[in-house]
Structure 1
C-alpha cells in the first residue's frame, strides 16, 4: 500500500509562512514593486502555477531562469523566517499516524504536494516530522497540474521497489477538492480531512472515499487505511 500525504492543511499548518516568504522573495527580486495574493487561488494548487499567476498579475518575467531564481530566493526566505520564528505545527494525530504507518509491513509513505521539494521538506521538518519517513514523493515541478502527480509517485514507487502497485492500493490524503480530483482521475483512493479551508461536507460532495474532521484519533483512521493493504 502507498499512502501519499499532502502537506499544507493536511499534515500541518504554518500560519501562511510560505505565502509570506513568497512575497518576501518577489519583493527582493523586484525592488519597488508590492506583491499580494489577492484574487489568486492558493489552496491545493502547485507552487509553479501560483508563481505563474503572481508573475502575470504583477507583470514581471516568467521565464525558466526567473523561476529558478525565485525558487532559490523563496527557499532562503522561508528557512530564515522559520528559523527566526517557527510557526509550523503538525495537526493533532499526524505524528502518531505517520509513526504507526512507518512501522506497518507493506506500507510505503510519500508526499504528494503542490510545494517545491526543498520548501515542502522544510515545512515537514519544522513541524517536527521526519522527512525521511516519506520516500515516494511528487512535488510541484513534477507536473503541470496536480493530476500529473500521482503517476510520478507511482513511477518512483516502481523505481524503488522494482514492481508496480495497483492503483486501488494507493491512498492520497488531502484537504482540498484538488486532492480528491487528482486521486480519482488516476484511479486512486482519497481520504479527505477537513483541517484546511474546506468543510467535511464540501469534501464529501467532491466524492472523497472517506472524510474525517481530523487525523485524530488515529486508530479508526489506521483501520480504514489498512483495510486496503493486501
Structure 2
C-alpha cells in the first residue's frame, strides 16, 4: 500500500498550454458578457478558476453571484477544447517521465491539486496523455481558495487507496508561491519548480522544502521525496 502522496499542480508544473486557458476565458467573456479584455491586468497564476472569474466580474463592476460566475466558466470550458487543439501545448521537461515512474511505484500515490475546474483539468491533461495518471484530486469545484484544496485532495487519496497519508509524507508540487502556501496550510512537504512565471529566487523566498529549475533531473526529484 502507498505511504507517500504526491499532489500535482498542472499549469506551469506539468504542462505549458501556451495560453490556451487564458484565450478560452477571453472568448467566454466576449461571448457571454460582451467584454473585450486581454486580462493583462490580472495575475492569475496559482489562483483558482472561480477566484479568477470573480476578480474579472468585480473589475468590470458586474454581479458576482454563483450563477454569473458559473455562466462564464461554462462558456470557458466549452471553448477550452478548441483552444487546446489550436495551441502548442507541451509537457514540461521531465514531467512525463516522473509521472510515469511514480505510476509504477506501489509505495507512491499521486493525484492533482489544481486551481482548474475538474473539467478544465481533464481538458488540459487528456490531449497530452497525462489525465489517466491521476485518479483523484482537488479542484476549483471544491473551493474558490487554493489553501482550502489540500484537505479535499488528501481525503480523496485516502478514500481511493484505503490508507491514511501522514502530512509529512504528502508532497505538494507546483510552480507558484500559492502552491507552497497551500502545502504549508496542511503541514505537507512542498516542492517548487521554476517552470512557470516565478524564478528560482522568488520561489526560494517562500521556503519550499525543495526547489528545482525544472523536473528534468528525476534522480534529484526522487531524492527530495525520500
Specify if TM > 0.5.
yes
The residue aligned with 2:91 is: 90
The residue aligned with 2:11 is: 8
What is the rounded CA distance, in whole Å, between the counterparts of 1:99 and 1:38 in structure 2?
35
Q: Secondary structure at the match of 1:76?
A: helix
Are positions 1:79 and 2:81 aligned together? yes
Shift of 1:220: 1.9
Q: What is the total number of aligned residue pairs between the two structures?
A: 223
Residue ranges of structure 1 left out of the alignment (5+ in a row): none
Of stretches 105-114 and 37-46 in structure 1, the one that deviates more from structure 2 is 37-46
Are positions 1:42 and 2:75 aligned together? no
Shift of 1:21: 0.5
Q: Secondary structure at the match of 2:111?
A: strand
Equivalences for residues 143-154 of structure 1 within 5 A: 143-154=143-154
The residue aligned with 1:22 is: 25
Is the Cα–Cα contact under 8 Å of residues 35 and 58 in structure 1 kept in the other structure?
no
The alignment yields a C-alpha RMSD, in angstroms, of: 1.3
TM-score of the pair, normalised by structure 2: 0.94
Describe the superposition over 1:115-163 as per-residue Cα deviations: whole angstroms up to 9, x where unpaired.
Answer: 111111111122x233121122001121231111110111112222333
The residue aligned with 1:121 is: 122
Q: Secondary structure at the match of 1:147?
A: helix
The residue aligned with 1:58 is: 60
Q: Secondary structure at the match of 1:192?
A: strand
Shift of 1:223: 2.6
Q: Secondary structure at the match of 1:111?
A: strand
The residue aligned with 1:182 is: 182
Is the Cα–Cα contact under 8 Å of residues 45 and 114 in structure 1 kept in the other structure?
yes
Is the Cα–Cα contact under 8 Å of residues 108 and 136 in structure 1 kept in the other structure?
no
What is the rounded CA distance, in whole Å, between the counterparts of 2:77 and 2:88 in structure 1?
16
Is the Cα–Cα contact under 8 Å of residues 203 and 211 in structure 1 kept in the other structure?
yes
